[in-house]
Amino acid sequence: MTARQAPEGWRKSTRSSTQTNCVEVGRVRGGAAVRDSKDRAAGYFTATAGQWRSFLDAVKSDRFER
């Protein structure tokens, strides 16, 4: 069993400016962590580097409904 790495370098999109309903992304070994910026204490979920790339590709190619 390996120890869980704490996410580092949390950041939120510059496009969100002063909005409060945003997500933040942090770095973990081999992937990314995501949390709600208005409820950081609720925790976060992680994705592998491949999962994160697939998600970003889907967002950039507009595969989600608005």
Beta strand 31-36 pairing with 23-28: antiparallel
| Structure confidence at residue 55 (pLDDT) | 93
List pLDDT tens digits, range 11-25.
Answer: 987 777 776 678 899
What residues does each domain of the chain span? 8-60
| Structure confidence at residue 64 (pLDDT) | 84
Rank 13-22, 34-43, 57-66 by mean pLDDT and report only the highest.
34-43
Q: Based on the number of CB atoms within 10 Å of its own CB, is 4 exposed (0-12), middle (13-18) or buried (19 or more)?
A: exposed
